[in-house]
Amino acid sequence: ILDLDKFKTDLGWYLRSLEEVIILTLAHYGITGSRSKGETGVWIDPDKPGFERKICAMGIKCSRWITMHGFALNVNTDLNYFNYIIPCGIKNKQVTSLQKELGRTVPMEEVKQLVKENFARVFEVNWMS
């Protein structure tokens, strides 16, 4: 939850900034995260038809410039659940996770710490201990 009055009252900027946090986090693992034109979230190979994989979904609500909700980064997610839905309403594209891309389980606390550090970097904030 953020008060965008303290940052920038621009939802596009906010979403692109959240995407950047995830892109930086993925880079730590040697994964190139990208944006897909017209589709919010973070993707792997978004410009390679048939190989596009969404690794992070985003959905926000904002009221009086106070944000709610945020992002869902697939870390060690059971991807079988996505076989029963059309993720984000986007047909013919896959969903992936850090675990699937790396071929190993990824410690959740490690990912949380990286997201926290990258969030501070992108949003130019200092976390209180």
Q: Which residues are catalytic?
A: 88
Residue showing tokens 């990824």: 106
Cβ-Cβ contacts under 8 Å for 13 (sequence gap 6 or more): none
Instruction: Map residue 103 onto helix, strand or coil.
Output: coil
- Distance from the Cα of residue 68 to its chain's centroid: 15
